[in-house]
Chain A
């Protein structure tokens, strides 16, 4: 084994996995056992092992979302032992490795729990609510063609870097799952901050925040009560400061809005 931990021994684990055939059906926790799990495996590779065992035995494999397995696409979304993406800070499920667990452990694996994220099957949930929030205003309205030269508007590095930090949100939904209110404020605030910081985002700054917040409420996400578990559990470190920016942007927009409601 080329891994750095040549002495690490394979593990045997007990898994308690949420199984639910489809959106309408009742779900329940089912217990499985996996053997000879290498500490160098990723968490999803451990689930691959379980699924291959299930399939060989003629049972339905556990459905879960995943794709890039590099921590960037935002597909994977497991609630592991009561935490979004499991025990390691700043890590998506796909980048979590089994060396963070010990032989004999029992691991509980659930889908994101939020009314706005209904379960498709087993551990896969529907996060299209996030897409609809972006559709409500998470963009700069420029058509292809006719953009000015990229260097026409200098942007201070500090501003650009802050916008970048906010823009790194992967849209996984860990913030919603971690929040006791199932609030989407961190997700919404990341996009609002990014575009509010940049000169390109100024024209639509006020309507954007109003429309995105309205859509967020419509989707059934909860309110923010300033607990901060969203930022604590965010795998890419989106800062809580963004929520402060969102609140400020929202108030400023409302105060100036022609659509006061």
Chain B
């Protein structure tokens, strides 16, 4: 039996391959309390993004669009290098640019961070999700959305400490980076990591990635970055997408990367009936109306259902973004 891939630097197979990620590899499933234990433990994988090696070329965005066959909008220039201006259902990863003058050296630093799903070990999206099986977590650490099961409610966005998932206006389900689960399932690494020209994005086992990060941090310290470090935040149980930051003492300077991300206490504790209360507490007042509509007319979709669902989703989508990204 094949285990997790060790690198993204390989040429994909063209012969038929058995998929290595199935129902049997799940360790978590949304809105499901009784999940049989996985039949095996895959070696946890991780993507490591070394911000200090990143040249902001957006090859990751390009490779992501091509691999996932998405169709991001051709927008306008609004005085920013961030294009599209936010993550969308068609843009699972995004380079965010911050012009930061280091107060200690008075030198300009152009901080460029690849934003996208962090594949949290303790995934807030999954915990917030009310739709059974719409969000799953495999034993290798990948958090994936099963679109057929998604109801487009947008709770995953509320539950995500990094504000990552986006709801498609077209099919009304949530989208985000899959860590190229389809590639990983046949022994390949994510498309972005393979493409990355400077290999600022690397992929392998989480253990190997941490070792690699150590080497990078040593190099950065030799270049005067005393606070260089690994971003693998414990508040979400660690992540399967990690950053090497030159200024790990202040992650927020990198386009509002949370300093101490954690799942909302409400999401963390809600179980059974409390989930309803929890959703209300999170400010999703529309949820009652949506559910009411569904329960009242179980076999038909009414225009107000659509409207309610849209409202819910819109409220999630219009949350504030970084100052560098006027949206």
A, B: real partners: no
**A residues apposed to B, CB below 8 Å:** none
Interface residues of B (CB under 8 A from A): none
